[in-house]
Amino acid sequence: MEAIEFGTDGIRGRVGTWPMDPIGAMQIGQGVGAYLRHKTESPRVLIGRDTRLSGDALMAALASGLMSQGVTVVDVGVITTAGVAYLTGRYGMEAGIVISASHNPWTENGIKLIGPAGLKLSDDEEEIIEGRIAQAIRGELESSPFGRLEQHPEWQEAYIQHLIEPFDSLAFAGLRVALDCSNGAASHIAPACFARLGCRTIVMHAAPDGVNINQGCGSEVVRAGQSDLPHVARAASVQLAVAFDGDADRAILVDEAGNLIDGDHILYIIGTYLKGKGALRGNAVVTTQMANSGLDRALARHGINTVRTRVGDRYVMQEMLEKGYILGGEQSGHIVIYDETHTTGDGIYTALFLASVLVENGPTTLQELAAPVTKLPQVIASARVESKPPLDTLESFLRERDTVLRELGDEATVNVRYSGTEPLVRVMVEGTTAQSLEDVARQAVRLCRAVQKAVGGGDEDIDIKDCTTGASLDLPTTGI
């Protein structure tokens, strides 16, 4: 067996294939348990999961591994990632664990760790745990008295109350809302929150059967321009239409006309709202290199700075914590509105916050609130690769990248990275007002092919998406 390593969002893999099988999950549990037992005498760990069919089996194996190392395991059932983070802190757990593969299909699953303060673990902590897991795989861990298993699904109610409490005094009654729950962890929780606040709610894709999570629904399908949510938003004249992903740490919106409202728009709306309240600490919004420059320009008109980090919510969070910022996120809809009890991306809290902005600024529309963000032509292209050596070691790719940048001009942006969970290279190209969407798409394909030629990869079609609308672009990519 190979070593188990943490990616950008935990340990991921195909269900039934090690380590996303009972043996791998047990070994991960043993490694995490051994790590925690060396930190405290009687550690307690809270586990939650999304609705994937594999969740029960992986939870049982993971819990067995933890308990074999003397850890008490508290199972709270199906709940969002942010719910695990909140309950971990509220009930004084040494760690929280989420079993989920976020926006990926049911055939994938993952295990991600959350620290006692509700924050994701640092790279250094994950490296130590990787060593403990390696010891578990080799059978080198010391034996320990067994821990216990507790079942507390009723703790989900504490999380629901936590979500709605900040908005109890607002006049949500009559607000028309559509919720695409992606047949995932939001399926019960999100409708309960909006209903208790008095909204007139249309609930969609909230009947999980273990295999329909993210299937033709959810945030990524909305971004791809393939969702039924825009039609519902227009037909039912809703004021807020929201799509979550499988573990509900993301929220993508659709306005009343069916237009995409992504993470860039959300950061602008919330950032300017907080600025107007005098509550935007540091006068800055944190986002990643993938954000559209239209966000920077729109925020700058309000005197708000944009701080950019590497791609990944963990890097956004690190910057926020180090500099004391309270708002950050990604174009994907992973938004953090930080305080001591909101410590990670929470799609449901983001949606409720936006609803409160609509209510406080009424009469207004989501389209009007997002309109100042004028997007530049931007695409993201994804291509399969056979290996992932460091990109800065690929001389032929670097030459091609320099050529593309010269052709696009100084104001253009190029970001190339490997996917943290799939055998893919992702290329984001943002042009200027002088280029068309097709122009920047062709340059993105050129860079994908340059990486594939250097590391291996097929000549099949490359997936290209318009970052502004979420729609796939029908552009021939073979032979390029």
Length reported for the chain: 480
In a shared domain, residues 366 and 411: no
The burial of 131, by beta-carbon neighbours within 10 Å (0-12 exposed, 13-18 middle, 19 or more buried), is given as middle
In a domain, 6, yes or no: no
What would the pLDDT profile of 368-394 be if each residue is shown by its tens digit? 999 999 999 999 999 999 999 999 999
Q: Is 26 exposed, middle or buried (0-12, 13-18, 19+ CB in 10 A)?
A: buried
Lowest-confidence range among 104-113, 212-221, 357-366?
357-366
Tens-digit pLDDT profile for residues 259-305: 999 999 999 999 999 999 999 999 999 999 889 999 999 999 999 99
Same domain, 136 and 56: yes
In a domain, 129, yes or no: yes
- Concerning whether 68 is annotated as a catalytic residue, the answer is no
DSSP track, 12-57: EEETTSTTSSHHHHHHHHHHHHHHHHTT-SS-EEEEEE-S-TTHHH
Distance CA 227, CA 114 (A): 32
Mean pLDDT value of segment 21-50 = 97
Q: Is 292 part of any domain?
A: yes
Among the residue ranges 82-96, 153-167, 316-330, 459-473, the one predicted with the least confidence is: 459-473
Question: Are 385 and 349 within one domain?
Answer: no
What pLDDT shows up at residue 420? Answer: 75
Q: What is the CATH number of the domain that holds 462?
A: 3.30.310.50
Is residue 145 domain-shared with residue 166, that is, in the same domain? no
Same domain, 173 and 249: yes
Q: Are 46 and 214 in contact (CB under 8 A)?
A: no
What's the mean per-residue pLDDT of the chain? 94
Retrieve residue 283's tokens.
């006068």
- How far CA 69 is from CA of 19, 26, 44, 288, 394, in Å, comes to 19, 11, 11, 39, 44
62 within a domain of the structure (yes/no) = yes
User: What is the Cα–Cα distance from 227 to 104, expressed in whole angstroms?
Assistant: 16
Compute the distance between CA of residue 48 and CA of residue 46 in angstroms, rounded to an integer. 7
Axis-axis angle for helices 55-67, 22-37 (nearest 10): 40
CATH code for position 312: 3.40.120.10
Q: Is there a single domain that holds both residue 64 and residue 36?
A: yes
Is 404 contained in some domain? yes
> 272 and 197 share a domain?
yes
Residue 480 resides in a domain: no
Domain for residue 339, yes or no? yes
Confidence of residue 395 (pLDDT cuts 50, 70, 90): very high
- 115-159 tens-digit pLDDT: 999 998 988 999 999 999 999 999 999 888 999 999 999 999 999
Residue 161: pLDDT above 80? Answer: yes
Confidence band of 478 (pLDDT split at 50, 70, 90): low
Cα 239 from chain centroid (whole Å): 24
Q: What percent of the chain has pLDDT over 70?
A: 99
**At 264, is the secondary structure helix, strand, or coil?**
helix
Q: pLDDT-derived band of residue 347, with 50, 70 and 90 as boundaries?
A: very high
End-of-domain residue from the set 318, 336, 370: 370
Position 433 scores a pLDDT of 87
Number of C-beta neighbours around residue 160 at 10 A: 18
User: Which of 308, 340, 370 is the C-terminal boundary of a domain?
Assistant: 370
Q: What 8-state DSSP symbol labels residue 116?
A: T
When pLDDT is cut at 50, 70 and 90, the band that residue 479 belongs to is: low
Q: Are residues 89 and 194 in the same domain?
A: no
Question: Would you say residue 477 has pLDDT above 70?
Answer: no
Q: Which domain holds residue 421?
A: 378-466
Q: Tell me: do 256 and 346 sit in the same domain.
A: yes
Task: Specify whether 193 is located in the same domain as 141.
Answer: no
Distance CA 383, CA 64 (A): 38
Last residue of a domain, one of 133, 151, 169: 151
Same structural domain for residues 242 and 282?
yes
Residue 219 shares a structural domain with residue 132: no
Indicate the pLDDT class of residue 228, thresholds 50, 70 and 90: very high
Tokens of 352: 């409720």
Residue 135 lies in a domain: yes
pLDDT at 9 over 60: yes
Which position among 102, 187, 227, 332 bears the catalytic label?
102
Number of domains in the chain: 3
